[in-house]
Structure 1
């Protein structure tokens, strides 16, 4: 029997946790840490979140807490067996009754409560997530999770095919935990990969939101490029909104540039989305946030700087200068992600972050004062003035720009007829 007594484990025992333990023990029930925190403790990591399992039913837990005047919150979890007491009105603990699956449909499971710890462990996805740890430090490991963790091996509980069919999202959870646990990028068990190939189409019934939640963690974790290629090689790509076939070179190049940096998941993923239509297809499958969707579009449209061209501050300043005022803050973030994507060095990124773009001094009122007709001609004049301002490193003054208005108007006057024709065509198209 293995027992844990580490600094990370001892650090968990706040007065609140000690009180929680007392309430269960004095009423004849067991409570143990479950899943993720057990895995973290075995790796020498102090868990950020604590999940508990118990052989007490939700009704029995509620009786304990009500009797001891402990407030409970988030009652929506009760149908799944989870009760959340707030101990000393200070710390919340999620405690879930042991469960077994009665039926599954590849997305959700119908469960019933049990008091058998091994049966509960048998319904979990991976051996490294199926362990329990008593608050006395005793480890309960029914499926060799501690050994797999020691060997940095990611393995399904029991038969991989059966576990995956219970919830197809477990395919992505496998890859996510592989990135966290394994010590080499491609030491997968072939039978596990075959089970993933056989069940890849099951991802069709999983919501985009759940898939994207897992994909983001894969994309920003270790071995991301290798794991995404493995995901594609096992046939999962089309079922999660990705192209069926992609070249791995761009993915590997961008991933190497991102090493040591914090980056958005969409930044790396954009390397295998070839154009706007790929980005839109992925968005429609995933239901991306506006920020992620538009970051994908932004990178697809602006990554065209060749590797052998000099990346300059001016390149990125011009992109920001063209941003719509209402998207200015977002655009600055997109540009920083683009810089990481393109391999801009740290000093260049810092220089861009520190740069405050001067205000373009010309507006519509200025042009009206100079008798510029409203409409398309005004847009042409404004655009040419802004180009002059950008060409002069954003330093051209209002007076300098105002002096250019007559010349621009004379130049544009020869095109007045074309402008009017274009405007008329546009109006007819809108009416039709």
Structure 2
């Protein structure tokens, strides 16, 4: 991901060089969208997008002359992507919509900044900035940015019909940039079109949901999403909102899988399928959401959990259980202590030791090892190699 120091980022390389290439004649190219919004808010800049009056072929010509690498994957939308020093910049010709077909639209190029602004999703994304740092605000959007007010450009239902992903984006933007109550007209429109989210690819839904879950305003936004039935796999009446809020208060670094595990009830299979989770993420979600723990302060039990599941994985589980049931508080405190200072021992015997006792290689060896390891764990890992061998002999 690109990243620049905030102070006058537009003057930093390679941004300034790229704008010198594109901004001919003066006023032909401006920064647009998130980088402008973040500049107004005084927060870090990660992605720099550029809008231009140049037609795509002209943009390509200018990049070629300057020796800048580019790709044309988004050319049908008027976008050319430039690459400089491992940084990526999307350069898009100003457009106006003629017809829309869900996420696709028939567009015409324009040289009018206002027309381009009116086709964007939210007012806070409809701001432009010159290479000198001057803000251009054709829709009077700066006030929304400063107020933390996420508002659709124009009629909310029109924007949603153009792209139903904007239902989720509306909540995500408020989760990260919003303050106070959500825009009533936007919220009503999202509730009306909530079922349309089911038409979206699971990967795209997952990306939005995970970003919402880790946002600073996640508690409020998740509650609003449940009220609007945005994510039917988590019904409002079954969602564990209070536990979710407790987890968010006690976490260090926010974790979307951990937060999702605390929020859901019942089997996680529908969520795994809907969000198209990878095997590793799905296994982690199932482990955190469905593994049972008894509220019992027992150092032997904690050690066993750390040994069997690993320090980070087991601590994650105890954090989730503490969010669900504050009675786990002392359990969590002692788990954190052991995670820091206790080094899990290595099981002192192997299959070769069992075979040396006269057991034929095969499933019996594995069975004996498992039983011996269970006995060793139950004994607080105190038995050594000779103790384990004697225990096996006593059993055969």
TM-score (norm 1): 0.80
Q: Which moved more, 1:137-146 or 1:285-294?
A: 137-146
> Which residue matches 2:304?
318
Shift in Å, 1:134: 1.3
SS in 2 for 1:103: strand
> Which residue matches 1:106?
102
Counterpart contact for 1:98–1:113, Cα < 8 Å: yes
> Which residue matches 1:351?
338
Whether 1:233 and 2:227 are equivalent positions in the alignment is: yes
Counterpart contact for 2:293–2:321, Cα < 8 Å: no
> Which residue matches 1:4?
none
Structure 1 residue ranges without an equivalent (≥5): 1-6, 324-330, 410-432
| 1:247 aligned residue (222, 234, 238) | 238
SS in 2 for 1:93: strand
Whether 1:73 and 2:66 are equivalent positions in the alignment is: no
| 1:336 aligned residue (291, 315, 332) | 315
Distance in 1 separating the partners of 2:86 and 2:353: 60
Counterpart contact for 1:9–1:46, Cα < 8 Å: no
Counterpart contact for 1:73–1:85, Cα < 8 Å: yes
Distance in 2 separating the partners of 1:174 and 1:353: 41
| 2:51 aligned residue (36, 53, 69) | 53
Task: Provide, for residues 29-65 of structure 1, a one-character-per-residue CA deviation record: whole Å limited to 9, x for no partner.
Answer: 6111100001100001241221111110110112223
Structure (1 or 2) with the larger CA radius of gyration: 1
Shift in Å, 1:382: 2.3
| 1:201 aligned residue (184, 190, 195) | 195
Distance change >3 Å, CA 384–CA 15, structure 1 → 2: closer
Whether 1:121 and 2:112 are equivalent positions in the alignment is: no
| 2:32 aligned residue (26, 29, 34) | 34
Distance in 2 separating the partners of 1:346 and 1:145: 47
Distance in 1 separating the partners of 2:64 and 2:308: 61
> Which residue matches 2:293?
304
Distance in 1 separating the partners of 2:39 and 2:23: 23
Shift in Å, 1:188: 2.1
Distance change >3 Å, CA 101–CA 337, structure 1 → 2: farther
| 1:224 aligned residue (183, 206, 218) | 218
Q: Which moved more, 1:174-183 or 1:369-378?
A: 369-378
> Which residue matches 1:388?
375
Q: Which moved more, 1:78-87 or 1:166-175?
A: 78-87
Q: Map 1:128-277; keep pairs closer than 5 Å.
A: 128-184=124-180, 187-238=181-232, 242-248=233-239, 250-259=240-249, 260-275=251-266
SS in 2 for 1:318: helix
> Which residue matches 1:415?
none
Aligned-residue RMSD, C-alpha: 2.6
Distance in 2 separating the partners of 1:170 and 1:103: 18
Distance in 2 separating the partners of 1:90 and 1:272: 38
| 1:62 aligned residue (44, 60, 63) | 60
Task: Provide, for residues 221-258 of structure 1, a one-character-per-residue CA deviation record: whole Å limited to 9, x for no partner.
Answer: 123233222112102122xxx2334434x332243233
> Which residue matches 1:285?
274
Distance change >3 Å, CA 103–CA 125, structure 1 → 2: same
Shift in Å, 1:353: 5.3
> Which residue matches 1:12?
10
SS in 2 for 1:39: helix
Shift in Å, 1:28: 5.6
Distance in 1 separating the partners of 2:51 and 2:338: 51
Shift in Å, 1:321: 3.4
Shift in Å, 1:354: 5.3
SS in 2 for 1:23: helix
> Which residue matches 1:407?
394
> In the comparison of the two structures, how many residue pairs are matched?
383
SS in 1 for 2:74: helix
Distance change >3 Å, CA 99–CA 346, structure 1 → 2: farther
SS in 2 for 1:112: strand
TM-score (norm 2): 0.87
Counterpart contact for 2:32–2:126, Cα < 8 Å: yes
Distance in 1 separating the partners of 2:258 and 2:288: 8
Whether 1:398 and 2:385 are equivalent positions in the alignment is: yes
Shift in Å, 1:23: 2.5
SS in 2 for 1:394: coil
Distance change >3 Å, CA 224–CA 303, structure 1 → 2: farther
